[in-house]
C-alpha cells in the first residue's frame, strides 16, 4: 500500500493515506481536480461483485438510489460514518437501506441472491480465494468462496415490479423510524441475501449486526463500539422526529446544532 501511495503522490493525488494494517488494506486519496475521495485496493476481486450487486439494486428503483445518497450524507454530517472511529461504514448503511426496502410491505426490492427469484434469468456465478484475515485479522491463508446473484436490472424489472407507491418523503421518514424505534437490533441481523432482508437470530457477537451478502461470517459492523451503536440508533431517532415535525426541511437532519435526545428501551 505504501508503494501504491507513492505512485499516487507522484501523480499529484493529495491526502494520500496508505492503510496497510486492515482486514482489507486500502489506500485513501483525493483527486485535487474533482475533489473526489477514493479508496483503492488491490487483489480484492470480490469487491467488484459487491459493487455490481449494489448497483443492480439501485437501478431497480430510483427511490432507492436517492434515499441511499441521503442516508450517506446524513451519516457523514452527523459524524456516524467513520469506521476508524468505530462507527458504521458507508457500505453498512447501504446494506441497511437495501434490507429496509426488502422488508417493507409491499417490498420495493427483491432478493437478487435467491436462485428461485427469477427462473428465466441467468445468475452470475464466480469463485474466489478470500484472505482469512477478512474474518480474523490474525489468521493467514485463504478460503474458497462461491457466489451467485442476478445482475441484469433491465431484465429483472420485467419480472419484478413493486406495488409500493410511497413517495421518497414517506420512505425516508419510515426508514429513520424503522431503525430508530422498530428494528430489533439485539436479535436480528441485517441480511440482504434473505427474502425479508434480515435474519431473525443474531449469531454475531455485537448488536446491530450487518451481514456481508457474500461472506456470511463477516459482520460489517464488527468494529463498532457498543456506545456508538446506541448513539447511531439515537441519530436515526433524531432524524425521524425532525422530519415528522411540521414545517421541517430535509436539510434540518444534516445540521449539527440541533439534537433530540430520546430514551431507548
Same domain, 33 and 99: no
Assess if residue 261 is contained within a domain. no
Same domain, 8 and 99: no
Assess if residue 102 is contained within a domain. yes
User: What's the number of domains the chain is made of?
Assistant: 2
Grid cell listed for 73: 450524507
Assess if residue 262 is contained within a domain. no
> How far from chain centre, in Å, is Cα 171?
17
Same domain, 18 and 133: no
Same domain, 206 and 119: yes
pLDDT digits (tens, 9 = 90+) for 96-122: 999 999 999 999 999 999 999 999 999
Assess if residue 222 is contained within a domain. yes
- The answer to whether 132 touches 142, Cβ cutoff 8 Å, is yes
Q: What is the pTM of this model?
A: 0.89
- The answer to whether 47 touches 39, Cβ cutoff 8 Å, is no
Average pLDDT over residues 30-37: 89
Grid cell listed for 236: 436515526
Could you tell me the CA-to-CA distances from 35 to 29, 95, 150, 188, 235 in Å, in that order?
Answer: 10, 26, 33, 38, 28
Burial state string for 238-251 with b = 16 or more CB within 10 A and e = fewer than 16: bbbbbbeeeeeeee
Residue 112 has what pLDDT? 98
Give the CATH number, domain containing residue 112.
Answer: 1.10.1410.10
Same domain, 87 and 174: yes
- Counting residues of the chain whose pLDDT is more than 70, the rounded percentage is 95
- The answer to whether 29 touches 14, Cβ cutoff 8 Å, is yes
Same domain, 6 and 106: no
Give CA–CA dist 56/98, Å, rounded.
Answer: 11
Same domain, 244 and 130: yes
Mean pLDDT score of the chain: 91
Same domain, 10 and 74: no
Helix, strand or coil for residue 16? strand
pLDDT-derived band at 3, boundaries 50, 70, 90: confident
Assess if residue 263 is contained within a domain. no
- The answer to whether 93 touches 82, Cβ cutoff 8 Å, is no
Same domain, 146 and 117: yes
Give CA–CA dist 217/261, Å, rounded.
Answer: 34
Assess if residue 264 is contained within a domain. no
**Of 3 and 236, which is predicted with more confidence?**
236
Name, in order, each residue with C-beta under 8 angstroms of 138's C-beta and a sequence gap of 6 or more: none
Same domain, 55 and 35: no
Question: Which structural domain, as residue segments, surrounds residue 64?
Answer: 46-254
pLDDT-derived band at 208, boundaries 50, 70, 90: very high
Same domain, 101 and 123: yes
Assess if residue 115 is contained within a domain. yes
Same domain, 25 and 139: no
Assess if residue 259 is contained within a domain. no
Amino acid at each position: 500500500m505504501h508503494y501504491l501511495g507513492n505512485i499516487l503522490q507522484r501523480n499529484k493525488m493529495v491526502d494520500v493515506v496508505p492503510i496497510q494494517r486492515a482486514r482489507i488494506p486500502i489506500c485513501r486519496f483525493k483527486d485535487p481536480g474533482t475533489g473526489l475521495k477514493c479508496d483503492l485496493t488491490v487483489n480484492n476481486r470480490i469487491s467488484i461483485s459487491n459493487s455490481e450487486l449494489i448497483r443492480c439494486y439501485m437501478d431497480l428503483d430510483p427511490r432507492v438510489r436517492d434515499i441511499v445518497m441521503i442516508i450517506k450524507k446524513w451519516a457523514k454530517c452527523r459524524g456516524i460514518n467513520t469506521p476508524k472511529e468505530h462507527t458504521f461504514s458507508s457500505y453498512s448503511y447501504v446494506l441497511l437501506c437495501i434490507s429496509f426496502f426488502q422488508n417493507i410491505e409491499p417490498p420495493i426490492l427483491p432478493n437478487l441472491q435467491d436462485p428461485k427469484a427469477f427462473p428465466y434469468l441467468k445468475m452470475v456465478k464466480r469463485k474466489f480465494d478470500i484472505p482469512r484475515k477478512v474474518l480474523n485479522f490474525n489468521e493467514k491463508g485463504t478460503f474458497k468462496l462461491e457466489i451467485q446473484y442476478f445482475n441484469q436490472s433491465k431484465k429483472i424489472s420485467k419480472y419484478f415490479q413493486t406495488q409500493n407507491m410511497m413517495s421518497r418523503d414517506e420512505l425516508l421518514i419510515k426508514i429513520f423510524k424503522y431503525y430508530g424505534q422498530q428494528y430489533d437490533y439485539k436479535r436480528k441481523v441485517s441480511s440482504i441475501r434473505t427474502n425479508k432482508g434480515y435474519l431473525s437470530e443474531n449469531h454475531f457477537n455485537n448488536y446491530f449486526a450487518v451481514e456481508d451478502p457474500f461472506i456470511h461470517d463477516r459482520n460489517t459492523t464488527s468494529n463498532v463500539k457498543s456506545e456508538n451503536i446506541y448513539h447511531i440508533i439515537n441519530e436515526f431517532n433524531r432524524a425521524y422526529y425532525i422530519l415528522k415535525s411540521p414545517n421541517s426541511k430535509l436539510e434540518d437532519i444534516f445540521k449539527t446544532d440541533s439534537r433530540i435526545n430520546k430514551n431507548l428501551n
